Amino acid sequence: MKLALFDLDNTLLAGDSDFEWAQFLISRGVLDREVHEVRNREFYEQYKAGTLDIHAFLDFQLKPLGRHPRAQLEAWHCEYMAERIRPMITDQARALVKKHREDADLLAIITATNRFVTAPIAREFGVENLIATEVEEIDGRFTGRGTGIPCFKEHKITRLEMWLAERRLLWEDISESWFYSDSLNDIPLLAKVSHAVAVDPDATLRARAAAAGWPIISLRA
């Protein structure tokens, strides 16, 4: 079996879905611009620098989900997909996913961003399998808290192995594996697969890819 894994933000997307979700809510007046915009940018810079406290970020990012009915959140998400996400999907990104699908590889998007934000994006790419940070939900309503192990840094490997185990698979069952990512935060999983590919990488990942002989590609228009 062959496995193709895709990071989402700044990899398949020419932008960051987590950052843009908060900015979208700010633009709609759901979140206070003065309070949230600076904090949202601070967390984004910390992520890019590899210094993000994932638990502090999730506390910030998930709280709005607990303040609004699910139907309202879904309506906002439809607008967000049209305004923020689809413009960030390039033909090159769609073609890459299509290539692996046509090769009959097992496909999965693996992302630190939460499932509420990313599940419709995975569907947009036609990728059935999504490994993401999970949001706690009780009786159909989000609590504003995360649950389980955040899908971040070295824990992406943990979450991937859990996902494989649910399918009665082990790493040994995977004959070839690809992982496409832009971020230094994903170096642990990139080092685990048989084919690591740096996509429009940050400076740290670009240097690591060059040293390791990993391909460096661009999916930007």
* Coil vs helix vs strand at 57: helix
Produce one character per residue of 65-81: b if its CB has 16 or more CB atoms within 10 Å, e if not. Answer: bbebeeeebeebbeebb
7 is catalytic: yes
Residue pair 166/152 in contact (Cβ under 8 Å)? The answer is no
Q: Give CA–CA dist 115/58, Å, rounded.
A: 12
Residue pair 100/107 in contact (Cβ under 8 Å)? The answer is yes
Residue 80 in tokens: 């967000």
Which residue from 135, 19, 114 is spatially nearest to 66, judged by alpha carbons? Answer: 135
200 is catalytic: no
When computed from its CA atoms, the radius of gyration of the chain, rounded to whole angstroms, is 17
Active site members: 7, 9
